[in-house]
Structure 1
Amino acid sequence: MIAFLGTGLLGANFTKALLAKGENVQVWNRTADKAKALEAAGAKAFDNAADAVKGAIRIHITLSDDAVVDAVLEQAAAGLEPGAFILDHTTTSAEGAILRTKKWAEKGFTYVHAPVFMGPVNALDSSGFMLISENEEITKKVSPWLSAMTGKLLSFGNTTGKAAGIKLIGNLFLLTLTGGLSDMLALAKSLNISGNEISTLFESFNPGAAAPSRLKRLMQADYDNPSWELQMARKDARLMMEAAAKGNNSLVLVPQIAKEMDRFLAKDFAHKDWSIIVSENL
């Protein structure tokens, strides 16, 4: 028996996928109607979390944050089966994941934080990525369960909480990527360049695909052989901000990057590779 606590877009599709594989799934959600809607797919819905987890050796969670996870687990505690595994797919703090792992182990349960890079479609067709960072014994036990739910289970060793940190790092990239695209569209608007024309550029020019190699280069910290000098990158940032301002549009990320460039220019690094602005974070 499997229990699923939290049946929003992600949890609902995880549940449907488990049901399609022949699993028996009991569900609960703070908004009861969302859980009851899954009965049409074969799930059994409950009005309280403690009843939903009774008889389940696997309890999966997809909730909003640390506070909600803690609150829901306290509600469910009375119904937990001895030795049950709590598999949490919520994006939380690393500290929260560490504290919950210790707390529930002391109560006789195995809490595993397994955050995901998966949207609702991925949850339904078992694609995307799931993360884990637990000791070898626990990872070996839960891997078959988790691997069946995702396209790839990525293990980051045995340091509890590391998976939570990796998840936040990945989400930070998504935030900055969208922020960068927002700046790009604002600049394009000021220059009377359409979104379709930008799409044409990206059909050939795909800088996102270079992210892994770019990261490796940053970690090499080679600033004396520039491919783009800091002073030239700063000049381009100025042109971007000026063009956007003329069109009465504002940029989100570029002005902050320009400030960091100015700080390093003041250190007489004009002819270094512009990536030197990350050097203090390595």
Structure 2
Amino acid sequence: MKAFIGIGLLGSGFVKAMLQKGDAVQVWNRTAAKAKALEAYGAKAFNRVEEAVQGAEIIHVTLKDDATVDEVLTSASNGLQQGAVIIDHTTTSVKGAIQRTSYWKSKGFTYLHAPVFMGPQNALESTGFMMVSGNQSVIEKYEPALSKMTGKLLNFGAEEGKAAGIKLSGNLFLLSLTAGLADALALAKVHNIQPSELLTLFNNWNPGASVPARLKKISEAKFNEPSWELNMARKDAGLMLSAAKEAGTNLTVIPAIAAVMDTWIAKGNGSDDWSVIAKDSL
């Protein structure tokens, strides 16, 4: 028997996939109607979280944040069977993941943080990426079950909380990417370029494909082998800022990047690869 706490878009997809694979699943959600809706697919919904976890060997969690996870698991604790395993897919802080692992172990339960890079459709189709770190014997034991939930399970080793840090770092990149796209759309509008035309560019030229090579170059600190000199990149940033200013358009990301570029140019790094601006992050 499995239990699933937190029936949002992601949780709903996970539960439907579990039911399709023949699992018996008990569900709970603060908005009871979301849990109740899954009864049409074969789940059993409960109004009280401590009832939803009764008899469950594994309890999956997808909630909002550290505080919500702690609050809900505390409420659920009276219904947990001895030796139950809590697998938390919530995006949380590193500190929270470490503390919960230790706390629930002291209570006789296993807590494993397993955040994901998955959307609702991924959860339903068992595709995407799930990450784990920590006690390797625990991970080895539950790896087969977790692997069935995702396209790829990434094990980042024995350090507690590392999976949480990786998830936050990845999400930071996604936030930056979207902010960058917002600036690109704003600049395109300045030049009377339609979003569909910008999409034509990215359908043919995929800058995302260069991310692994770019990260490798940064991590190896090979800034003296430029593919795009910092001075030239700053010149282009200046063109972007000037065009936006003339049109009365505000850009979000580029002004901050230009300021960092100016700092590194002032240090004498203008002829280095423009990725030198990431040097202090190493």
Range of TM-score over shorter length: over 0.9
Residue in structure 1 matched with residue 210 of structure 2 by the alignment:
210
Aligned match of 1:93 = 93
Hey, what's the Cα distance between the residues in 1 that align with 2:44 and 2:20?
14
Q: How does 1:39-188 map to 2 (within 5 A)?
A: 39-188=39-188
Per the TM alignment, residue 230 of structure 1 is displaced from its structure 2 partner at its CA by 1.3
1:141-187 superposed Cα distances (whole Å, 9 cap, x missing partner): 11111111111111000111000000001111100110110110000
Q: Which runs of 5+ in 2 are unaligned?
A: none
> 1:24–1:43: 8 Å Cα contact kept in structure 2?
yes
Question: Which residue in 1 is equivalent to 2:275?
Answer: 275
| Separation in structure 1 between the aligned mates of residue 89 and residue 225 of structure 2, nearest angstrom | 43
Runs of 4+, deviation exceeding 3 Å: none
Structure 1 residue 225: Cα displacement:
2.2
Q: Which runs of 5+ in 1 are unaligned?
A: none
In 2, are the aligned partners of 1:133 and 1:155 still within 8 Å (CA)? yes
Tell me the TM-score normalized by structure 2.
0.98
So what's the TM-score if we normalise by structure 1? 0.98
Aligned to 1:239: 239
Cα deviation, 1:213-263, whole Å, max 9, x if unaligned, reads: 111011121222222111111111010011112222111111000010111
Deviation at 1:205, TM superposition (A): 1.6
Q: Which amino acid aligns with 2:72?
A: V
Which position in structure 1 is the counterpart of 2:4? 4
Q: How far apart are the structure 2 equivalents of 1:25 and 1:193?
A: 50
Moved more, 87-96 or 217-226: 217-226
Percent identity over the alignment is 60
Tell me the alpha carbon deviations over residues 76-127 of structure 1, each in whole angstroms, 9 at most, x when there is no partner.
0000010000000000001000000000000000000000000000010100
- Cα distance in 2 for partners of 1:5, 1:264 equals 48
Aligned-partner Cα distance in 2 for 1:14–1:236? 45
Which SS does the other structure have where 1:86 is aligned? strand
* Distance in structure 2 (CA, Å) of the matches to 1:224 and 1:39: 61
Query: Aligned partners of 2:225 and 2:33: how far apart in 1?
Result: 60
Distance in 2 (CA, whole Å) between partners of 1:268 and 1:147 is 49
Amino acid of the structure 2 residue aligned with 1:272: D
Of stretches 232-241 and 202-211 in structure 1, the one that deviates more from structure 2 is 202-211
1:59-86 Cα deviation digits (max 9, x unpaired): 0000000000000000000000100000
Q: Secondary structure at the match of 1:96?
A: helix
Name whichever of 239-248 and 102-111 sits farther off: 239-248
Decide which moves more: 195-204 or 103-112. 195-204
Tell me whether 1:230 sits opposite 2:230 in the alignment: yes
The number of residue pairs the alignment matches comes to 282
Moved more, 84-93 or 211-220: 211-220
Question: What is the CA-CA distance between 1:17 and the residue it aligns to?
Answer: 0.6
Question: How large is the RMSD of aligned CA atoms in angstroms?
Answer: 0.8
Q: Is the 8 A contact 1:7 1:29 kept in 2?
A: yes
Using the alignment, how far apart are the partners of 1:83 and 1:173 within structure 2?
A: 37
